[in-house]
Amino acid sequence: MEKIEKQFVGRVYGVRGQIVIVHCESEYRPSLGEILSTQEKTGDHIIRLEVHSYQDRDILHCLLLSSKEDIYRNMKIVTESPSLFIPVGKRVLGRAINFYGQPVDGSGALERGYTRPIHAVAKHPALTTETKKKKLLETGIKIIDFFTPLFEGGRLGLVGGAGVGKTALMTEVIRNLNSEHDGVALFAGIGERIREGHELWESLKETKTLSKTALIVAHINENAAIRFRVPEAAATLTEYFRDEEKKNVLFFADNIFRFVQAGNELSTLLEEIPSEFGYQSTLETEIARFENRLVSSDTVFVSSVQTVYVPADELNDPAVAAPLPYFEAVVILSREMSKEGRYPAIDILNSKSSVLDKGLIDDRHFEVATTAIELLDQYERLARVVTIIGESELSLQDKVVYGRGLRLRNYMTQPFFTLESQTGRAGVFVKRNETLADVKSIVEGRFDSVSADKFLYIGNATHLIPSEYKTETSYEPQEREA
């Protein structure tokens, strides 16, 4: 961390949760974002404060970035650094660090090297009118690659309530994308469980991708000020690899709602006037400031996958709605699908992708996807009828549509590599063109003679193709660059 000559600022006037009120007693007035510390030693603990705002000319509101147990009234406060700095560069790859840049993986101290301030305003890449050549990111997850495709340099949001599989889906996406990615991967753990971070760590070691991945974590037991600043620290690492190392970046964040929640907790402690729905009035600004740092340059792509928790399954909640406009693809996870035991529990009809456009993907994919969505829409209508009067009361045509819709829904279930120990099923990676060919066969009726149950938790459907259609089904790739 960059040091400055320590200057006496004042004394602790009061502590309100993670907010420390400092009375300035000297002529020096710290700037916003400056890091302060205590003058006297407090054992092994380092007490750091970040200047947040001025209540009056001599009253400071500071974010407490340490434990509050060692703070007491009239404690002397001095300057420490113009900002909080974190280590950057190749030395953080293969490591898990906390908000201060200290390792938390038990692998020893980090090598000495460059640091960067987390609040630095990055020089945004210049806008260009040239069309970038981007390839489709292939996650190997059928339902995502087919219904909500994503180009390199885009952003994917995994949106859902508690217990529907957001983190499990994120971990699988990390595993599959990171294996073939030619750049680096960064993971920001924002207020999630320690167990989930450990499982991700083990998954990265198993797939031998840990060496090109950096993790910065603040678990749910950390105080709100730390959870609130972790996204900015992670964005700083992203900017470094994009601008200095010129490497493509895969950025993962779990969970954006916890970032908003931490800001709301701090806003309440600061006694700021909330917005209409009880959230901080600066919610949109905080999201924009974070998301706008995750942009691609004219030569380097920053691709992002972020989870968003939905409180009480209310998608209209302002904390959920705020980040959605920044995503090119939005995957909505369904509690109903989860209750049925269908994983990934993705609501296909409510999930969207701006990439699913005839001018961006090949015509074959667009036409098959459009037909599949129409089929599922008809299936949902018929499913409500079947619930009341039973399938036997449907017309012959409706029975055909209902059966194909059920096969398609079952086909979109998939066993994950990262959940093999929990489910007992071997994980599968399905290429996009395999999924496309299988879906085309389902909607055209080539699998009408095959039981719908046989489509549950399979990879591709090669082994299910009836003999009379085997020569017609093709998995030949058809790619289009944007």
Which residues are catalytically annotated?
166, 192-193
C-alpha distances in Å from residue 159, one per residue of 137, 188, 257, 319 = 19, 17, 10, 11
Bridge partners for 85 per DSSP: 117
Q: Tell me the two tokens of residue 51.
A: 């200047």
**Contacting residues for 290 by C-beta, under 8 A, at least 6 apart:** 231, 232, 235, 259
Q: Which of 93, 105, 256 is nearest to 185 (CA)?
A: 93
Torsion, CA 120, CA 122, CA 123, CA 127, rounded to 10: -150
| Phi, psi dihedral angles at 469 (to 5 degrees) | -110, 0
Burial 446-473 (b: 16+ CB within 10 A, else e): bbeebebeebbbbbbbeebbeeeeeeeb
How many whole angstroms from its chain centre is CA 267?
Answer: 24
**Contacting residues for 412 by C-beta, under 8 A, at least 6 apart:** 142, 143, 146, 342, 346, 348
Largest Cα–Cα separation, the chain: 88
311: helix, coil or strand? helix
Instruction: Judge contact between 460 and 429, C-beta under 8 A.
Output: no
451: amino acid identity, one letter: S
**Contacting residues for 293 by C-beta, under 8 A, at least 6 apart:** 122, 232, 235, 238, 239
Q: d(Cα 28, Cα 36) in Å, to the nearest integer?
A: 12
141: helix, coil or strand? coil
Instruction: Judge contact between 144 and 107, C-beta under 8 A.
Output: no
